Amino acid sequence: MGRVVRALVRPWVVGVAVVAVVGVGFGLYWFQPWKLWQDKTVQEALPGTVDVAKSPGAAPSGESSASAPARPVTLANGELISHEHATSGTVRLVRLADGSHVVRLENLDTSNGPDLRVWLTDAPVKEGRAGWRVFDDGQHISLGRLKGNKGSQNYVVPEDIDPARFNSVTIWCDRFDVSFGAAELART
């Protein structure tokens, strides 16, 4: 009788073990919990900024140059607030000298996570849990994957997009449809 019970239990135990291993593997792939302890710092300069003192052909001090290129102009800015994860830093919408636009994250500090994106959106920024999931309800444009969860970095706004149609920026986790943090853009 003991052999029969062992013979019937063994396939069941093996089946449960296989399902458990597959489940743990899928859970690790889906949630990627190790990213919560891994930081990636990215420090990018604002495109189109030139240190006049070091640029070749710069006019001597006291002289102005009539052909000096236009400088980048901040059109809107805002402070990041926390949503799903503690997030801080500044967001700027900048028009570059060539007329193109970038969203610049400065002094960003947030958690790392799976499939994080930077979105330009038309949604209002709400504090607390009420703001976690509002950004995919209206218009939004993905500016690409978050380059790093710390530092200062630039995200190009596509030429065919009018940035004036959008009034907020979010760091969006595409895998779980939740905002890590967001900033309302105040026009300057």
Q: For 64-91, how does the pLDDT look when each residue is reduced to its tens digit (9 = 90+)?
A: 445 555 899 999 999 999 999 999 999 9
pLDDT of 94 above 80: yes
Position 27 scores a pLDDT of: 59
Per-residue pLDDT tens over the stretch 144-173: 999 999 999 999 999 999 999 999 999 999
User: Which phi and psi (to 5°) does residue 104 adopt?
Assistant: -115, 125
Edge-to-edge strand ranges of the sheet holding 168-173: 81-82, 178-184, 168-173, 116-121, 140-145
* Strand stretches in the chain, DSSP E: 41-43, 73-79, 81-82, 88-95, 101-109, 116-121, 140-145, 150-157, 168-173, 178-184, 186-187
pLDDT band for 22, please (50, 70, 90 cuts). Answer: low
Q: Which residue has the higher pLDDT, 4 or 40?
A: 40
pLDDT of residue 154: 98
pTM: 0.74
- 34 pLDDT band (50/70/90 cuts)? low
